[in-house]
Structure 1
């Protein structure tokens, strides 16, 4: 299934495994890459030295291209970019729009830059700055998310930019891949679906909570860090929503202390990162601290298995996933389903021809 995305990054299939903190480590990323997808290593929860080690570990497990995801607003983003360049990583993805300068530095080194966006204007901005592609996440996606559904946001972005667009938010099978291609995307990105594989290091008890969830058990809350955050509804999330400001501040300080010990960050650095996330948003000081140490709440569940003390970021698709295939089995199944769907529609060749035209810049725009 060749598209503009597969040609751009050199993978076999137009599927991306997203960079999920504490989840997208070397084992999952290399398994996704070996399956023919683009595996993306999550670096925000790693020190710079650990990031370098993780990149080398992925490379020891696969010869396929892979990427690294990082926060553009992190104080050490420049150091992480240097690791990506030094280690010859194929793709740099960003959870927030990177600066024009970071994009230029990466592109000058031959790295493919794919920022994640949640609005058409953000896609237009990073494309104008030189991004090679954009990953657009609709409101169905897990973690920090927006309010616009993928089916509305995706065509907006496809019509607005002339770079490949990767669709995220609500994808888990081959039918979704075909739908994304029909909208004009060059591929799909999935987080929750790859989290729920046998190659994921998430504890089995946590995976069981995801598999037991219905679509109604996935909620959006601001209680964690003041920003819309899609996750599984649990007793712990309910308690966060009931906690007053004083309780939230105590909890934020406790988790911040844990993150500082684990990461080696200074208090000044943590506050600075929290302030970066606060920029342009109405957050209290307890929320600033929570924004800086939300990784600890995720770690409690995703690493320690403490669903009673942590949060489980999740896309709505958790409610329709009921198995734990390997990455190889998952990717093969998605491609097989997609090809079967295209055959049933009698549209396999027209779709591929359309993507060849789009890659050449011959995009047809609707009248406005």
Structure 2
């Protein structure tokens, strides 16, 4: 029998009840029940990506994870979604341990979750956002530096992380650039309570991303994870591809036409009516200060990601990726990955010179 990897208790493990201070974030189309339950069984915090799920599918996914594992796990929600309150109710009714948010949830949503005993962990990309959600009662915060995949900012983790750690009195989870035990120890040295590793968990044998897509990731260098605003009008770190080059060359009219087509596809897939879709768009516009053209462009994201992450069509879709992709060269199981990270972290810590 393989020995359990060494534990490393932190404020994150104590808050969430997991064994290891590692988080698999809620990636849309990627973080489904199979990956989340495998991460949870490995002793880390797996988080379901629910933004692309209907409420009915969300409840079914939560129950599927629960049928696969007894370990704690979380669900990522869109705070600006028109049905956010309904989704929060599902989490509470189903006894989910952790709720994470891609945008800052309202003070009322935080209070409702906390009153039900749910741990609230918003994701932020700036110190002021961390200070705001901490003041509203968030239990912890996940801070992503510019190296991270998907929507990202321009400040590196090594600058942003200590800035946020110094600004708030709640546990901080570091994201953007992490894939191994050395990174975990470095984050802890900065004052973080753990790390999130999106790209690294995407590239595991437990991930349902098609093999051909995983091969594209494994063949990529750090420089291939570029930032573009042509997917949905916001800075988005994705892998370089012919489609991305085409998006960069396309004019505004072509981009808006593509967005309208994708909005219609996502409406059918999500079960939303046009009124609900417009309501969510208005909420997104207020939350991020976007123009209506940027809101329309945002419809590109879920469908372009689905084309690659679900359908395996890298010619028709985009692949969100952190720069750390250049350091990943294998597809371990989640148990193997977590064990490797924790063993390496223990070894790194043992080699550090003693103070005195």
Same fold (TM over 0.5): yes
Task: Decide which of 294, 309, 312 is 2:301's aligned counterpart.
Answer: 294
Q: Which residue of 1 aligns with 2:312?
A: 305
For residues 65-85 of structure 1, the C-alpha deviation after alignment (integer angstroms, 9 at most, x for no partner) is 000001100111001100110
Confirm whether residue 20 of structure 1 aligns to residue 27 of structure 2.
Answer: yes
Q: Which residue of 2 aligns with 1:70?
A: 77
Greater Cα offset, 233-242 or 52-61: 233-242
RMSD: 1.2
For residues 12-34 of structure 1, the C-alpha deviation after alignment (integer angstroms, 9 at most, x for no partner) is 00000000000000000000000
Q: Which residue of 2 aligns with 1:51?
A: 58
Confirm whether residue 229 of structure 1 aligns to residue 236 of structure 2.
Answer: yes
Confirm whether residue 93 of structure 1 aligns to residue 100 of structure 2.
Answer: yes
The alignment of Structure 1 onto Structure 2 pairs a total of residues equal to: 348
Is the 8 Å Cα contact of residues 136 and 167 (structure 1) preserved in structure 2? yes
Q: Which residue of 1 aligns with 2:90?
A: 83
Confirm whether residue 113 of structure 1 aligns to residue 120 of structure 2.
Answer: yes
2:146 aligned counterpart, secondary structure: coil
Q: For 1:230 and 1:23, how far apart are their aligned partners in 2?
A: 16
Confirm whether residue 165 of structure 1 aligns to residue 172 of structure 2.
Answer: yes
Q: Which residue of 2 aligns with 1:356?
A: none
Is the 8 Å Cα contact of residues 245 and 286 (structure 1) preserved in structure 2? no
- 1:56 deviates by 0.2
Is the 8 Å Cα contact of residues 28 and 200 (structure 1) preserved in structure 2? yes
1:279 aligned counterpart, secondary structure: helix
Confirm whether residue 131 of structure 1 aligns to residue 134 of structure 2.
Answer: no
Task: Decide which of 152, 161, 165 is 2:159's aligned counterpart.
Answer: 152
Structure 1: 5+ residue runs without aligned partners? 351-368
Q: For 1:346 and 1:99, how far apart are their aligned partners in 2?
A: 45
- 1:249 deviates by 1.8
Structure 2: 5+ residue runs without aligned partners? 1-7
Sort the Cα spacing of 1:322 and 1:282 in 2 relative to 1 into closer, same or farther, 3 A.
same
For residues 109-144 of structure 1, the C-alpha deviation after alignment (integer angstroms, 9 at most, x for no partner) is 000000001111111111111000111110101100
Q: For 1:3 and 1:281, how far apart are their aligned partners in 2?
A: 33
Q: TM-score, normalised by structure 2?
A: 0.95
- 1:273 deviates by 2.1
Q: Which residue of 2 aligns with 1:122?
A: 129
- 1:260 deviates by 1.3
Is the 8 Å Cα contact of residues 262 and 299 (structure 2) preserved in structure 1? no
Q: For 2:35 and 2:171, how far apart are their aligned partners in 1?
A: 25
Confirm whether residue 246 of structure 1 aligns to residue 275 of structure 2.
Answer: no
Q: For 1:268 and 1:228, how far apart are their aligned partners in 2?
A: 27
Confirm whether residue 181 of structure 1 aligns to residue 188 of structure 2.
Answer: yes
- 1:265 deviates by 1.0
Task: Decide which of 7, 10, 14 is 1:3's aligned counterpart.
Answer: 10
Q: Which residue of 1 aligns with 2:277?
A: 270
1:81 aligned counterpart, secondary structure: helix
Sort the Cα spacing of 1:43 and 1:283 in 2 relative to 1 into closer, same or farther, 3 A.
same
Q: Which residue of 1 aligns with 2:220?
A: 213
1:193 aligned counterpart, secondary structure: helix
- 1:290 deviates by 2.3
